[in-house]
């Protein structure tokens, strides 16, 4: 089952944006992108249409294509929504068997607590794995895709990248996993909510810096 040119272009473009090779606020032109991809504008436009629907790129009123900046307001809203959703997911996960993915995530997080130092994108992937493991342990099948969507937005916000207290975040993740393992839903939701409260106050603290 081969991918269409449009699908390939979509994946390629999205990856470049998530990696930061193409930056939020950058303007794109269909012809240039089409030439770079070795395809014509038609499938390229289909790929762009899809990215538009996901809020990754936006057409300005004159048709110009821009990689959509993500505002602080949007970022804070995502933190709030995820706090609700992932808190509930952690409580559900605590009522179900412990998973291999959660165990693996805990080991990875332990390394950060002990001082492991990596680039933002590496930590982001381990962070991805943690949140995905919780959602899957909760048997919530729509949640992983929703998380991916929201996390892809958050990743594009410039403040997110100022966020470098990996050891603290790792410790918060471990607290969630421990509560899930202990089959304590109340502790699990509290730990997950504390994690997001902590994320939020870091963002606000960055904003409020003198």
Partner DNA sequence: TAGTTGACATACAGTTGGTATACTGAAATA
Partner DNA sequence: TATTTCAGTATACCAACTGTATGTCAACTA
Which among 1-9, 110-118, 128-136, 164-172 is the span making contact with DNA, rule CB under 7 A?
1-9
Task: Supply 36's token pair.
Answer: 């770079």
Helix (H) or strand (E) holding 7: helix 5-19
Which among 40-48, 134-142, 159-167, 174-182 is the span making contact with DNA, rule CB under 7 A?
40-48
Task: Supply 64's token pair.
Answer: 């110009």
2 binds a copy of itself (CB under 8 A): no
100 binds a copy of itself (CB under 8 A): no
Which among 28-36, 127-135, 156-164, 180-188 is the span making contact with DNA, rule CB under 7 A?
28-36
Rounded to whole angstroms, the Cα distance separating 187 from 103 reads 18
200 binds DNA (CB under 7 A): no
CA 11, distance to chain mean position in Å, is 16
The β-bridge relationship of strands 65-67 and 27-28 is: antiparallel
- Judged by beta carbon, residue 76 or residue 146, the one nearer a copy of itself is 76
User: What are phi and psi for residue 116, nearest 5 degrees?
Assistant: -55, 135
Hey, which residues between 41 and 80 contact DNA (CB under 7 A)? 41-43, 45-46, 59, 62-65
The β-bridge relationship of strands 65-67 and 57-59 is: antiparallel
76 binds a copy of itself (CB under 8 A): yes
Which residues of the shown chain bind DNA in the complex (CB under 7 A)?
A: 4-6, 28-32, 39-43, 45-46, 59, 62-65
């Amino acid at each position: 089952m081969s991918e269409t040119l449009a699908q390939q272009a979509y994946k390629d473009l999205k990856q470049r944006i998530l990696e930061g090779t193409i930056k939020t606020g950058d303007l794109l032109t269909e012809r240039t992108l089409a030439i770079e991809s070795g395809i014509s504008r038609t499938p390229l436009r289909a790929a762009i249409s899809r990215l538009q629907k996901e809020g990754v790129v936006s057409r300005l009123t004159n048709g110009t294509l821009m990689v959509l900046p993500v505002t602080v307001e949007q970022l804070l809203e995502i933190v709030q929504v995820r706090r609700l959703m992932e808190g509930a997911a952690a409580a559900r996960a605590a009522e179900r068997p412990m998973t291999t993915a959660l165990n693996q995530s805990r080991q990875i997080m332990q390394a950060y607590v002990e001082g492991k130092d990596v680039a933002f994108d590496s930590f982001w992937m381990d962070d991805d794995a943690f949140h995905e493991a919780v959602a899957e342990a909760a048997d919530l099948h729509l949640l992983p895709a929703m998380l991916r969507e929201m996390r892809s937005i958050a990743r594009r916000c410039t403040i997110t990248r100022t966020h470098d207290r990996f050891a603290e975040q790792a410790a918060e993740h471990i607290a969630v996993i421990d509560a899930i393992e202990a089959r304590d839903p109340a502790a699990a939701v509290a730990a997950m909510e504390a994690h997001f409260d902590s994320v939020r106050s870091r963002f606000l603290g960055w904003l409020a810096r003198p």
